[in-house]
Amino acid sequence: IMLHSTLALSLLLIAVSSNLAMAIKKEKRAPQTLSRGWGDEITWVQTYEEGLYQAKKSNKPLMVIHHLEDCQYCQALKKSFAENEEIQEMAQNNFVMLNLMHETTDKNLSPDGQYVPRIMFIDPSLTVRADITGRYSNRLYTYEPQDIPICKYTPSNHSCFRIC
């Protein structure tokens, strides 16, 4: 009976520890909530102010993606952005990244209106780069999924993500 109790206790401990290990693994794999689906491997800042601070400190430009969950164009762009390994690597290594579902108080981030999706860039000197635009004259800072493969970044100049 003692052997039977010891065996049962051992099996119980193994089951508990294996469930705990699976829970820990699941916890580690949980997507980063700040990514909101734009890329879980990217380090995202939480606020515009934090983004400006990190841009200046790291000497990397800040990319601000304005989007909404219920916007079909935002969802399509997000999917292309998240699935493109080159863009994900560029975003992680060459930018401070922020995605926002609300407007900031900085009116420089909406020079031609508050629409989504909208991507704005702020260089490390904290200048909003209004000159970096997409291909639409009525919404200068909007990008579409088909724009993702032709987005380029040149580390030597921070006029990045220019559509050719």
**Residue 145 near residue 80 (C-beta atoms within 8 A):** yes
Residue 5 has pLDDT above 90, yes or no: no
Q: In this predicted model, what pLDDT tens digit does every residue of 151-164 receive, in sequence order?
A: 554 444 444 444 32
Contact 123, 63 (CB under 8 A): no
pLDDT surpasses 80 at 39: yes
Comparing 55 with 131, which gets the higher pLDDT?
55
Whether omega for the bond prior to residue 117 falls within 30 degrees of 0, making it cis, is yes
Q: Which residue, among 76, 67, 4, 61, has the nearest Cα to 35 in the 3D structure?
A: 67
Name the CA dihedral angle for 139, 60, 100, 53, rounded to a multiple of 10 degrees.
-130
**Cβ-proximal residues to 106 (8 Å cutoff; 6+ apart), any chain:** 48, 128
Q: Supply φ then ψ for residue 119, to 5 degrees.
A: -120, 125
- Looking at residue 160, its pLDDT comes to 46
Residue 158 Cα distances to 64, 71, 93, 152, angstroms:
15, 29, 13, 11
Cα–Cα distance for residue pair 42/69, rounded to 1 Å: 19
pLDDT, one tens digit per residue, over 105-141 is: 888 889 999 999 999 999 999 999 988 888 888 898 8
The pLDDT-based confidence of 6 (bands split at 50, 70, 90) is: low
Per CATH, is 33-163 categorized as 3.40.30.10? yes
Please tell me the distance from the alpha carbon of residue 95 to that of residue 55, in angstroms, as a whole number: 8
Q: What is the value of pTM for the model shown?
A: 0.73
